[in-house]
Amino acid sequence: MQTDLFGNVPEIVIDIHETGGKSINSVKHLMSMMDKEGIRYTIEKIPIGDILGSEGIAIERKTVNDLVNTLKGSAAGVPRFTKQMDALLQYEKPYVLIENILAIRRDPMKGCVYIPFSTKQTKGKPFFVTMERAAYIHPNSLDALIESIRERGIEILMGYNALHSAGLLYGTLFGEEGNRKKTGQRLPVIRTRKGIDGVANEQEFFIAGFPGVNVVRAKSLLEKFGSPFDVITSTDEWAEIPGIGSKTISSAKKMLHTKYEEEKEENPEQTDEE
């Protein structure tokens, strides 16, 4: 990571894609807040996450539109989103910010959510007119996608609008009271989708393959039980690890005890003959 002319290292790294365009998102509000407080940050292309902070913090910013497009887009949408979330687990403290999730209206009868995009106050009166866009995704599908993020061990920040979300970002990065420059604080590290090197890393990668188990939890499980074999034969005791609950344990047991059945693909030649 580059330093300035005086050798100062940035406290925050922001992905360059979050700073473009005319619309004011939560990241741009965050940048204004940091400018006001004299907090150093740098803008770079980041392979994983949108904002990197100290002590292993990585934050991915999403809007409800992003999640809707994931569900309504091509067949590759959800798998691509899943890989993105799994990559975020390379960081010790992964977060996903959903910028306007608290502002939507849910209509389970019509099977859609209403996403606001403009609000204006009636002149001289205490009335507000909000324009909304209907996205025909059932609220339950949206909730299931959000829950899949939580099950991976990623904390979710739920915002109302861009400014409120910027406050959530600032509080996550610096603490609610803006505490900074603690002794021994680790600065942001840009990580890539690196390969596996060494037995210990292979063991961590193996255990982190269980639903809801990230790299940090995998390390904790291995430190407690010793070997991967001892970890998978002690699933009932996983609850002793902070952050692992009954859902993660149930998912792990299901994965271990469900009989393997390979998904069969159609034979292209056979399809052509038909």
Domain residue extents for the chain: 12-174, 199-257
Position 179 scores a pLDDT of 55
CATH of 12-174, one of 3.40.50.300, 3.90.1150.140, 3.40.50.10130, 1.20.1250.20: 3.40.50.10130
Least confident range of 61-70, 190-199, 247-256: 190-199
When pLDDT is cut at 50, 70 and 90, the band that residue 105 belongs to is: very high
| pLDDT greater than 80 at residue 163 | yes
When pLDDT is cut at 50, 70 and 90, the band that residue 145 belongs to is: very high
Sorted by sequence, the CB contacts under 8 Å of residue 12 that are 6+ apart come out as 34, 39, 40, 41, 42, 51, 52, 53, 173, 188
Answer yes or no: are the C-beta atoms of 17 and 206 closer than 8 Å: no
Residue 191, both tokens: 């990580």
Length of the chain equals 274
8-state DSSP, 198: S
CATH class assigned to 199-257: mainly alpha
CA distance 87 to 83: 6
pLDDT tens, residue by residue, 1-22: 554 444 556 789 999 999 988 8
| pLDDT greater than 90 at residue 115 | yes
When pLDDT is cut at 50, 70 and 90, the band that residue 269 belongs to is: very low
> What kind and span of H or E run contains 207?
helix 199-207
| pLDDT greater than 60 at residue 38 | yes
| pLDDT greater than 60 at residue 45 | yes
Q: Model's pTM, two decimal places?
A: 0.67
When pLDDT is cut at 50, 70 and 90, the band that residue 183 belongs to is: very low
CA distance 84 to 60: 9
Answer yes or no: are the C-beta atoms of 146 and 98 closer than 8 Å: yes
CA distance 27 to 212: 28
When pLDDT is cut at 50, 70 and 90, the band that residue 213 belongs to is: confident
